[in-house]
């Protein structure tokens, strides 16, 4: 496309795009986010292209392979516009039928529609009526399903870069900062620091050049919010960064993205090239004398590099290790220059705030945490996927209305928010409104938005052990409390899970946790005790059962459980005997089976397979 050299040129170009697009035209949107690609989305996309071409519909029907729609549990997802007919669990073999019926005649294919797990006959026709989507507020994430991430035109047609034009044409940099401050935008990467205040400090800091950087080093297990945004709507992130750079007075920037996110790297690279060619990035943006360019830097995969100072060290080509932050990175950051770092989601919020104003933004969310937050809802919940909800929504709404509750009617036990170093929140706090401060009050944190749901079969001691082990593996080892403390903590927790816990262990863990929290160098160590401390606070009796009674109440820790056959329930079907890898089941036809404790390796396969629920864990 031609380079846009004025605000008018952008609006004119947008006008042409919109005029050339008939909103009533049939449009097929296939989710080609990473989750759906795992379910075969690439084959679905190929099948659609082939089928539409063969049927001679390629010109009449618009087709888009979009970014992640969020409902990853039911991939591959297909939405047929303009009616927004929502098909789920679509595979390539369904495509000819979809084209033949829905695309050509509007006939709906019943079997591909969504039905709630509780009521299989109640089918839902439209995307916006699916309970998973109905309770969301998709302010930032909504366009993911509507645009092809590799198409700048798609983004511009939906109003893209209008916020940038507004900022450059009508606002002074301090006005933008004031607006972002008034909007109360808080950093979505975990800390929740007010973005406007950070921008202002960076603007006022002495030194040049200044850098404006995007943190896309999302490393929490099970979390992929930033990944999906950068993959599905990279221009929204770029637009936010350019506005930020203009406000702060920076001409250089980086996106630090994990190398394990190949699609995010690819789509961000394409978007940068497109924006540069269109005059929306690089020299003299939109014909003004403001210039700002972005380079992509790929991370090597260390979790700690999500920490701002470690990220900057890594960007400089040094080992990714954090340093003390008593002098903030807005003063001395990358190459010791003033640097403003925000994460992907924070940047993606900026265009909305600039375009619609702080007042409009503040209507969403809570007083202390305005706006929405994207969470990755995973674990023991029916509808796993990415959700965007207004701040202040309760955990109950998220888990039961959006998430559809716990599979197999099991009991909810806890939800862990904030990634590996978040805390576990028990059922008694299900009505807690989710925002930065409320989560902190119950010993957890927002983090970057991981949300792991646990049911009654989760052992909280084992869980604490798992996350402590993860964090001690990911500790860079620079400071003593994190390096030595987490390792010792992990050892004690392992002992407790193995039935070797001792009197006094809990006191020792608590003292140790206090030192790790208060003395560690960076946020990794400072928050690492959260899983242990929060489970000790809410599930202390489970620890005590492990230590004093050598019992795992959730029936998880292998050394503390035995499998037993209930003789009155056993039908002597032999399923357990066949599946046992250790030949630990004794029994024959019509004779009640028995598990030989000395041979049993506690793999649990008999328990899983028994059709009569005759095997129990003790």
Partner 1 sequence: MADLINLTINGRPTAVPYDTPLLTACRDAGVDVPTLCHNDNVAAYGVCRICSVEVNEGRKTRVVPSCVYTVRREIAVQTDSPRIHRHRAMLLNLLLARCPDEEPIQKLAAQYGVLAPHPRFQKKNDDCILCGLCVQICRDIVGVAALGFEGRGFERRAVSPFDAENPVCIACGACAFACPTQCIEFGEAGGKRWLKRWHREVDMLVCEKCGNYWLPDALSHQFAKRMGIDPASLNVCTNCR
Contact set with partner 1 (CB under 8 A): 302, 304, 319, 323-324, 326-327, 472-481, 483-488, 491-492, 495, 502, 504-505, 508, 511-512, 514-515, 518-521
Q: Of 16 and 204, which CB lies nearer to partner 1 in the complex structure?
A: 204
Rounded Cα gap, residues 145 and 142, in angstroms: 6
Q: Of 512 and 576, which CB lies nearer to partner 1 in the complex structure?
A: 512
Rounded Cα gap, residues 315 and 339, in angstroms: 12
Rounded Cα gap, residues 305 and 48, in angstroms: 40
Q: How far is the CB of 519 from partner 1 (least distance, A)?
A: 5
Q: How far is the CB of 491 from partner 1 (least distance, A)?
A: 5
Q: How far is the CB of 415 from partner 1 (least distance, A)?
A: 28
Rounded Cα gap, residues 160 and 168, in angstroms: 14
Q: How far is the CB of 473 from partner 1 (least distance, A)?
A: 6
In 3-state terms, what secondary structure has residue 261? coil
Locate all alpha helices (DSSP H) within 302-408, ordered by sequence.
Answer: 308-315, 344-362, 395-396
Q: How far is the CB of 325 from partner 1 (least distance, A)?
A: 9
For residue 99, how many C-alpha atoms fall within 13 Å in the half-sphere facing its CB? Answer: 23
Q: How far is the CB of 261 from partner 1 (least distance, A)?
A: 21
Rounded Cα gap, residues 229 and 220, in angstroms: 16
CA 342, 282, 187: angle at the middle one, nearest 5?
10
Q: How far is the CB of 205 from partner 1 (least distance, A)?
A: 14
Q: How far is the CB of 221 from partner 1 (least distance, A)?
A: 17
Contact 253, 295 (CB under 8 A): yes
Q: Of 88 and 468, which CB lies nearer to partner 1 in the complex structure?
A: 468
Q: Of 410 and 500, which CB lies nearer to partner 1 in the complex structure?
A: 500
Q: Of 310 and 610, which CB lies nearer to partner 1 in the complex structure?
A: 310
Rounded Cα gap, residues 68 and 405, in angstroms: 22
Q: How far is the CB of 350 from partner 1 (least distance, A)?
A: 30
Q: Of 379 and 525, which CB lies nearer to partner 1 in the complex structure?
A: 525
Q: How far is the CB of 479 from partner 1 (least distance, A)?
A: 5
Structure tokens at 352: 């909305």
Q: Of 503 and 598, which CB lies nearer to partner 1 in the complex structure?
A: 503
In 3-state terms, what secondary structure has residue 367? coil
Q: Of 431 and 518, which CB lies nearer to partner 1 in the complex structure?
A: 518
Rounded Cα gap, residues 196 and 244, in angstroms: 9
Q: Of 181 and 325, which CB lies nearer to partner 1 in the complex structure?
A: 325
In 3-state terms, what secondary structure has residue 51? helix
Q: Of 260 and 484, which CB lies nearer to partner 1 in the complex structure?
A: 484
Residue 255 has a CB neighbour count (10 Å cut-off) of 27
Q: How far is the CB of 331 from partner 1 (least distance, A)?
A: 11
Q: Of 314 and 401, which CB lies nearer to partner 1 in the complex structure?
A: 314
Q: How far is the CB of 413 from partner 1 (least distance, A)?
A: 28
Q: Of 327 and 582, which CB lies nearer to partner 1 in the complex structure?
A: 327
Distance of CA 411 to the CA centre of its chain: 24
Q: How far is the CB of 298 from partner 1 (least distance, A)?
A: 19
CA 32, 36, 42: angle at the middle one, nearest 5?
55
Rounded Cα gap, residues 455 and 329, in angstroms: 41
Contact 531, 493 (CB under 8 A): no
Contact 61, 26 (CB under 8 A): yes
Region of 394 on the Ramachandran plot (φ > 0 left; ψ -120 to 50 alpha; else beta): beta
DSSP states of 152-217 as a string? Answer: HHHHHHTTTTHHHHHHHHH--HHHHHHHHHHHT-B-TTTT--BHHHHHHHHHHS--SS-EEEEEE-
Give the C-alpha distances (Å, rounded to integers) separating 507 from 408, 533, 536. 37, 11, 11
Give the C-alpha distances (Å, rounded to integers) separating 458 from 136, 470, 613. 28, 17, 19
Rounded Cα gap, residues 332 and 525, in angstroms: 22
Q: Of 179 and 474, which CB lies nearer to partner 1 in the complex structure?
A: 474
Residue pointed to by tokens 């004119």: 12
């Amino acid at each position: 496309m031609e380079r846009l050299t004025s605000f008018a040129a952008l609006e004119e170009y947008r006008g042409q795009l919109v005029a050339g697009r008939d909103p009533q035209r049939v449009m097929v949107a296939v989710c080609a986010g990473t989750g759906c690609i795992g379910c075969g989305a690439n084959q679905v996309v190929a099948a659609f292209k082939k089928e539409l071409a063969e049927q001679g519909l390629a010109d009449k029907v618009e087709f888009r392979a979009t970014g992640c729609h969020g409902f990853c549990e039911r991939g591959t997802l297909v939405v047929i516009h303009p009616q927004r007919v929502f098909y789920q669990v679509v595979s390539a073999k369904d495509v000819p039928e979809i084209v033949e019926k829905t695309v050509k005649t509007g006939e709906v294919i019943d079997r591909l529609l969504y039905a709630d797990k509780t009521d299989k006959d109640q089918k839902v026709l439209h995307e916006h009526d699916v309970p998973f989507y109905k309770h969301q507020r998709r302010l930032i994430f909504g366009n993911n399903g509507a645009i092809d991430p590799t198409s700048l035109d798609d983004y511009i047609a939906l109003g893209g870069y209008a916020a940038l034009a507004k900022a450059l044409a009508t606002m002074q940099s301090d006005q933008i900062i004031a607006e972002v401050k008034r909007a109360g935008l808080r950093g979505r990467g975990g800390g929740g620091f007010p973005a406007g205040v950070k921008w202002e400090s960076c603007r006022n800091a002495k030194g040049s050049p200044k850098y404006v950087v995007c943190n896309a080093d999302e490393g929490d297990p099970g979390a992929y919010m930033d990944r999906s945004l950068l993959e599905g709507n990279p221009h929204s992130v770029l637009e936010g960064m350019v506005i930020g750079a203009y406000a702060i007075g920076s001409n250089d920037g980086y996106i630090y993205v994990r190398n394990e996110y190949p699609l995010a790297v690819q789509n961000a690279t394409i978007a940068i090239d497109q924006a540069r060619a269109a005059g929306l990035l690089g020299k003299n943006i939109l014909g003004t004398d403001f210039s700002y360019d972005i380079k992509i830097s790929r991370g090597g995969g260390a979790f700690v590099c999500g920490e701002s100072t470690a990220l900057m060290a890594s960007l400089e080509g040094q080992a990714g290790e954090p340093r003390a932050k008593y002098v903030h990175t807005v003063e001395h950051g990358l190459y010791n220059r003033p640097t403003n770092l925000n994460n992907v989601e924070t940047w993606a919020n900026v265009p909305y705030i600039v375009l619609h104003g702080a007042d409009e933004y503040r209507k969403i969310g809570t007083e202390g945490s305005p706006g929405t937050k994207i969470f990755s809802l995973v674990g023991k919940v029916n509808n796993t996927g990415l959700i965007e909800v207004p701040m202040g929504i309760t955990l109950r709404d998220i888990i039961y209305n959006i998430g559809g509750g716990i599979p197999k009617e099991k009991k909810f036990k806890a939800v862990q928010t904030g990634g590996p170093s978040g805390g576990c929140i028990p059922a008694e706090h299900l009505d807690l409104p989710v925002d930065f401060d409320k989560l902190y009050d119950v010993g957890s944190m927002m983090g970057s938005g991981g949300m792991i749901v646990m049911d009654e079969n989760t052992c909280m001691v084992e869980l604490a052990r798992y996350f402590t082990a993860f964090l001690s593996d990911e500790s860079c080892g620079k400071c003593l409390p994190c390096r030595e403390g987490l390792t010792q903590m992990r050892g004690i927790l392992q002992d407790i899970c193995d039935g070797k816990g001792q009197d006094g262990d809990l006191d020792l863990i608590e003292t140790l946790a206090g030192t790790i929290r208060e003395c560690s160098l960076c946020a990794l160590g400072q928050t690492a005790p959260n899983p242990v401390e929060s489970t000790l606070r809410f599930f202390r009796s489970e620890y005590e059962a492990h230590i004093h009674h050598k019992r795992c109440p959730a029936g998880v820790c292998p050394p503390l459980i035995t499998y037993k056959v209930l003789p009155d329930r056993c039908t002597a079907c032999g399923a357990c005997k066949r599946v046992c890898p250790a030949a630990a089941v004794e029994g024959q036809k019509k004779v009640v089976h028995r598990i030989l404790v000395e041979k049993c390796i506690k793999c649990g396969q008999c328990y899983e397979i028994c059709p009569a629920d005759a095997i129990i864990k003790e």
